[in-house]
Amino acid sequence: MKLSTAFITAIAVHTAAGAAVNTDGALSNEEIIATILENPHLVPPTTYRMLQAKSSDLQKRQDAPATKSVAPKSTVPDVQDEPAKAWKDAKRRKVRYGPYRIPPTSEKNFASEYMNIKGMADTFAIGAKKPCDGECTILGLVGDIEYADGKPASNSQGAWFHHAVLLNTGPQVLDGNCGTSKIDNMFMSGNERSMNGYSLPNAKIKSGYRIHKDDSFVLTTELMNMQDKEQWVWLTISYEYLDGHQPDYKDGRMLWMSIGPIGIRCGGAAVKSPWGPSNLTLAQQPKLDVFSEHSLPWVAPRDGWILATGGHMHDGGVNLQVFHNDKLICTSTPTYAHDGHGMGGMRKRQIKGGEKSNDDIDHIKKQEGCNFLEGRPMKKGDTLYIAANYDFKRFPGMKNKKGELDEVMGISGSVVAY
């Protein structure tokens, strides 16, 4: 796929020194974007649509409107070392990325015109800062958003951490989900701001995510405003890591499985599901009130262990079940609360639909997973899949502008080690 240089320049806004250049088998900037476009499983659907739209017709689609506003000056350091919180022997380093402008909800821009979403801005940066310059082993990481002075940017101020995705690229990188070479989705986070690990603090098996010297990070963000007032925020990622390569540590990876006709599925939408037709539309909206939607089975590429698994759903979800070789190994159940707005919650859409408005209903506040401290052995060729159970008669779902049920998600992140 040939992409225009204008496109690369337009989206690689924060390309820093040391970004991927085409030497020693690393992907060039152009190849990074082309590889993502050829492998939709690497990023969430909205990020994918943004990249696709901007690359296919850049000339006609202006990114942000001409704005004269300038980011406030950051008054705290870009890199902050702190005591580790989850893994006591690790170092913890918080890196501030940005600043990111989150547009007022009334602004006409790319997201509002093309994707119908108000107050949203997407960014894509090649060569984002890594926690270490040389080699290191990341045990876990957590994302958040904050203001110029380091104070948290919260939902109550209208700042919504929709999601961020961190991709790792490099000659030795291998995608942990579908085996795409030289690029991997290593971290995804949203408003729930939970710690993602490549290991468990008390597990028998030690594991971590290996960062090589020649790896390069690609950071894509989708941040949203719920107020009609421009804001500037910084995305932070706090890494808990060990210096250098750790020969005693297994290779820890995040495995993502997701429901729906487009979600994260190896081979893309063309692959036929053994579970029959999807219960979701292409826009991920439910076709039924009660259903159990499955992901495509994932096949283990090597022998290893499953260390943890858990789910993320939107309102309406009853639970998310994880199966290993058809055996149920985890039921991840969401907790609802009236002030939830925690996970999938698209609170921006406060439009009445049916008898209840999105503010009247209970929202998912948290969703616990399962840990396997001893490690659950997994053999090459074993399968894993999820079933997301929804019942909108029991738990009313969020509604969109038209009063239809909003998009749903069923996604699980599992920690596996090889």
Ligand X SMILES: *[C@@H]1O[C@H](CO)[C@@H](O)[C@H](O)[C@H]1NC(C)=O
Chain residues that interact with ligand X, rule: CB under 6 A:
273, 275-276, 278-279, 291-294
Main-chain phi, psi angles of 81, to 5 degrees: -90, 135
Element holding 61 (H helix, E strand): none
- Our CB check for ligand X shows the closer of 293 and 406 to be 293
> CB of 185: closest distance to ligand X in angstroms?
23
Please check whether residue 121 is in contact with residue 132, taking contact to mean a CB–CB distance below 8 angstroms. no
Rounded to whole angstroms, the Cα distance separating 122 from 220 reads 7
> Which residues contact residue 339 at a Cβ distance below 8 angstroms, ignoring those fewer than 6 apart?
363, 365
- Our CB check for ligand X shows the closer of 180 and 321 to be 321
> CB of 260: closest distance to ligand X in angstroms?
9
- Our CB check for ligand X shows the closer of 292 and 357 to be 292
> CB of 387: closest distance to ligand X in angstroms?
7
- Our CB check for ligand X shows the closer of 240 and 293 to be 293
- Our CB check for ligand X shows the closer of 231 and 278 to be 278
> 140-153 as b/e, with b when 16 or more CB fall inside 10 Å?
bbbbbbbbbeeeeb
What's the helix, strand, coil split of the chain in %, to 5? 10, 40, 50
Main-chain phi, psi angles of 51, to 5 degrees: -65, -40
The DSSP annotation for 155-167 comes to: GGGTEEEEEEEEE
Dihedral sign for Cα atoms in the order 385, 391, 396, 397 = positive
Rounded to whole angstroms, the Cα distance separating 42 from 33 reads 11
- Our CB check for ligand X shows the closer of 294 and 363 to be 294
- Our CB check for ligand X shows the closer of 46 and 273 to be 273
Rounded to whole angstroms, the Cα distance separating 235 from 164 reads 9
> CB of 294: closest distance to ligand X in angstroms?
4
- CA 35 to chain CA centroid, nearest Å: 18
Q: Give the torsion through C-alpha atoms of 30, 163, 142, 135, to 10 deg.
A: 0
CB count in 10 Å sphere of residue 263: 23
> CB of 200: closest distance to ligand X in angstroms?
30
- Our CB check for ligand X shows the closer of 333 and 371 to be 333
> CB of 313: closest distance to ligand X in angstroms?
14
Element holding 1 (H helix, E strand): none
> CB of 272: closest distance to ligand X in angstroms?
10
Main-chain phi, psi angles of 104, to 5 degrees: -65, 150
Residue 367 pairs with which residues in a beta bridge?
A: 334
> CB of 296: closest distance to ligand X in angstroms?
9
- Our CB check for ligand X shows the closer of 46 and 292 to be 292
What tokens appear for 182 in the block?
Answer: 């030289």
> CB of 265: closest distance to ligand X in angstroms?
11
- Our CB check for ligand X shows the closer of 305 and 390 to be 390
> CB of 224: closest distance to ligand X in angstroms?
30
